[in-house]
Structure 1
């Protein structure tokens, strides 16, 4: 079969059900072939950042590798922000971009460029196909690599003469590779855990990605250990309503160390090095605290701090092996100590949650809304089966304190830091699982970076509820600047950090999307509660007070 037909055959056999893209001239042979492939609908985005973000959300919702089509160097450059996010969040996707015809590359034709060099820093691997018979092999290799731990995006550049070739090529079969098993030796970890008097667990995003939340819950209950999520977590890694769930660790080593100070053993599961945001001196691990680290990626073990016991292997199998071995270590006195710890920890966490709830609820009122109150209204209004896609920066921090999501894949975030991801990710999330309503909680600055994605939501009638928190500023930068400069910065003079005059209802109208502006916190809660009944997308503008208490 021809190379382009082999491409379609391979993506089908790899589980691809949608192609996300923004095409150009070098992809025309691919688009022509898709005319006769109704089982592979092409989801068009108006800008490549939105395209990659849609694929990111889709891959996470389905658990399958996403497939993306970009156009030459310029299209790839626009998509790089999404690839950086996908790499950080370890989202498996294969990105194919058309290159100019090889027969005139030496003449430096318009639109040509070093696609491999451009993509390489943002992906696991980047290759260019030079012969038609290499396309099937390299494409199969790309899908296998995208899935392999640590998963992530893989880039393939395909010149137009390869895509349009009429040469006959063979299609290699899908390779079936067994999943890795448990760590081969858990004895040292079990010995440390059995002797711990005050253990604590840090749940990383590997727990949610690998679907092993129940196994971690079982281990936490057996140890009587509070569980923190890694800083700026990307998904549900531990049930938010569980009495042992302590919340999110702050993204600074100094603050992490303070939270872990009272413990003698910390169990770190599926976590990439804590990913601090702002620098503070010292290690995140307190002196005298033993680390037991579990990860599917051997490179993570002991990467940033020494470990007393490191277990590299599939998280589910390794957690099961650890718990089975721990069951033989339990003595009556130990069981009583664990029961007492669980009661004490649960009591403290319950009191803390109640205080946060009261403070937020007391601030309900007319617009502009208080940000923590607005986020409480969103959290309390969510339908039971909703998915929250969050890219709200400062408002997102408040949202995390009141969310009580237990179901896996109910929360979607990216730790990559490339703004504009949220709109597209919400669309891809809903396309990937149409059975669950999607509420996207977005900052106004973030939404501006991904605004073109709204067109795709309207074009494909994707019923996402887009909640745009409008404070008219880059609030996180003002707060950070205040912290760096100290109290003397209270005069409130900032350069380049204000976003006045944005009319979000007018922006929605540009793309043909219905919109509304909330006037009260209770109205916001009601709008979010209706997310499951929508058949079309809706933009909800939420005016909130700005930094320093001013109107947004």
Structure 2
């Protein structure tokens, strides 16, 4: 066998069974090895940003890494934006980046580049296979690093390491270190702070602390201990819907965020970081909590967040039988009619959302109301692009659909963001994925119009408008989707949108709705 065969065997031995790929010449031996491993599902993305974004969506839904296959430094560079989102989401991922044969590198061929330098800012761990004999330890190190704690890893595979002969062995499972024990000193400190400032304590949850079982514990703490429960602005994955405790999302605009947090004297972090402004603005703060706010960490990423919440509840004397308030029924409101608006779309999707669906939200400005309404929707998983790099929505939905083939995936997608990785629709068509893409077609980068105001520009001229608007010509999402093999239809009224959504939800396979607003 060769090194590429052995690398596949290490991955499969550790239940890495999906490879999102866009390979090139340097990876052909690895492609041939994958061809000999029917247990590995190989998924082609037509752009590397689709590959890394799909691996991100897959990881968020499985809590396990997929592999990606990328071609040298330029191929890796094409995937960096969604690696950034994955790193911010703390998604486990193993990027396999092919490189020239080691003896060819000194010749400085056209594709030669500093792969380590490109990978490092978007990876928690970067390693290079030194030769065929190094395949097993290097691959096992990459796998271990992807899960302890979860994050992005990049393994560089020189071509001669891939084609070099190795002894036939059967790799075993990598032993992972257990989660550290709950820090009871931190638990007692947080409990003491909660008792000392009832009603003026906030708690920010993310990661495993935003799953339904942990949210139930956090909900009891919030209801009984006088704690206000928050989520970060951008959510990697949260389980929401009727019967689940619904944290308040910290708003994106600085003024709204500081207003939300102005009465917080103690902020408790559970797998989260202290919230800060997305950008610096003239005359506005970067920190969102008051200067005198005490910030405490109950447990950090890589620790047992649910167990820490359980320990805190015990320390506060909160019983598992104590109740919390959760949404039970959708608010009584008239069914939207007439011209289609972003609010009407949010209402319709929240009302019609199938139980156990997965929502990938990259609608940016247009779907802001959906998050609040989603508390009343059927139980579901909700995900966003966590790094602020747009172009993650379509790939994330693709990866989520591969991870959970028995669940409906709804992608709320901005038209500008969607154009970054529109190629992901082709992968959805090829793989017959059950994804409904709803494109909010306002033909502009609406968020950037708002940002111009935020930085003090109150009027824009022709040059600025041409950089912010997507008209002349207007994007034709029906033609784009059809060209990728995805059936699509357009709606500009609430009635037409409702009919299309009903149809798309009632059948399997990919479908795109261009919602003209």
TM value normalised by structure 2: 0.90
The alignment partner of 2:367 has SS state of helix
Counterpart residue number, 2:57: 57
Distance 2:441 2:89 in 1: 26
Counterpart residue number, 1:229: 231
With over 3 angstroms needed to count, the CA separation of the structure-2 counterparts of 1:188 and 1:41, relative to structure 1, is: closer
Task: Give runs of aligned pairs for residues 410-449 of structure 1, distance below 5 A.
Answer: 410-449=381-420
1:494 matched to 2:465: yes
Contact 2:218 2:229 in 1 (8 A): no
Distance 1:76 1:276 in 2: 29
Distance 1:379 1:210 in 2: 18
Distance 1:158 1:243 in 2: 45
Contact 2:221 2:318 in 1 (8 A): no
Distance 1:490 1:241 in 2: 46
Distance 1:531 1:61 in 2: 22
1:208 matched to 2:179: no
Instruction: Point out where structure 2 has 5 or more consecutive residues left out of the alignment.
Output: none
Counterpart residue number, 1:305: none
Task: Give runs of aligned pairs for residues 326-337 of structure 1, distance below 5 A.
Answer: 326-327=316-317
Counterpart residue number, 1:69: 69
> Mean Cα displacement is larger for which, 106-115 or 452-461?
106-115
Counterpart residue number, 1:533: 506
> Mean Cα displacement is larger for which, 518-527 or 535-544?
518-527
Displacement after TM superposition at 1:388 (Å): 0.7
Distance 2:293 2:34 in 1: 57
Displacement after TM superposition at 1:217 (Å): 2.1
Contact 1:22 1:51 in 2 (8 A): yes
Displacement after TM superposition at 1:234 (Å): 2.6
Task: Give runs of aligned pairs for residues 155-234 of structure 1, distance below 5 A.
Answer: 155-168=154-167, 171=171, 173-185=173-185, 186-206=187-207, 207-208=209-210, 212-234=214-236
Counterpart residue number, 2:314: 324
Task: Give runs of aligned pairs for residues 335-414 of structure 1, distance below 5 A.
Answer: 358=333, 364-367=336-339, 369-404=340-375, 410-414=381-385
Contact 1:254 1:281 in 2 (8 A): no
1:522 matched to 2:512: no
Task: Give runs of aligned pairs for residues 197-346 of structure 1, distance below 5 A.
Answer: 197-206=198-207, 207-208=209-210, 212-236=214-238, 239=240, 241=242, 245=246, 247-252=248-253, 254-279=255-280, 280-281=284-285, 283-286=287-290, 288-297=292-301, 313-327=303-317
The alignment partner of 1:324 has SS state of helix
Task: Give runs of aligned pairs for residues 72-221 of structure 1, distance below 5 A.
Answer: 72-149=72-149, 151-168=150-167, 171=171, 173-185=173-185, 186-206=187-207, 207-208=209-210, 212-221=214-223
State the Cα deviation string for residues 25-48 of structure 1 (Å, max 9, x = none). Answer: 111111111222111021011111
Displacement after TM superposition at 1:527 (Å): 3.3
State the Cα deviation string for residues 294-324 of structure 1 (Å, max 9, x = none). Answer: 23249xxxxxxxxxxxxxx421121111111
> Mean Cα displacement is larger for which, 203-212 or 502-511?
203-212
Distance 2:392 2:287 in 1: 31
Distance 2:134 2:289 in 1: 48
Contact 1:87 1:152 in 2 (8 A): yes
Displacement after TM superposition at 1:210 (Å): 10
Distance 1:535 1:320 in 2: 40
Counterpart residue number, 1:482: 453
Distance 1:120 1:210 in 2: 34
Displacement after TM superposition at 1:492 (Å): 11
Distance 1:405 1:31 in 2: 46
With over 3 angstroms needed to count, the CA separation of the structure-2 counterparts of 1:530 and 1:437, relative to structure 1, is: farther
Counterpart residue number, 2:477: 504
With over 3 angstroms needed to count, the CA separation of the structure-2 counterparts of 1:275 and 1:431, relative to structure 1, is: farther
Displacement after TM superposition at 1:534 (Å): 2.1
Distance 1:47 1:182 in 2: 42
Contact 1:436 1:532 in 2 (8 A): no
Displacement after TM superposition at 1:328 (Å): 8.0
TM value normalised by structure 1: 0.85
Counterpart residue number, 1:308: none
The alignment partner of 2:67 has SS state of strand
The alignment partner of 1:410 has SS state of strand
Displacement after TM superposition at 1:248 (Å): 1.3
Displacement after TM superposition at 1:493 (Å): 6.6
Distance 2:134 2:381 in 1: 40
Displacement after TM superposition at 1:502 (Å): 0.8
Contact 2:30 2:162 in 1 (8 A): yes
State the Cα deviation string for residues 147-203 of structure 1 (Å, max 9, x = none). Answer: 112x21110111111100113276465114212221132222222222332144333
Displacement after TM superposition at 1:396 (Å): 2.7
Distance 1:439 1:469 in 2: 13
Distance 2:499 2:229 in 1: 32
Instruction: Point out where structure 1 has 5 or more consecutive residues left out of the alignment.
Output: 299-312, 330-337, 545-552
Q: How many residues align?
A: 509
Contact 1:437 1:531 in 2 (8 A): no
> Mean Cα displacement is larger for which, 161-170 or 205-214?
205-214
Distance 1:247 1:520 in 2: 31
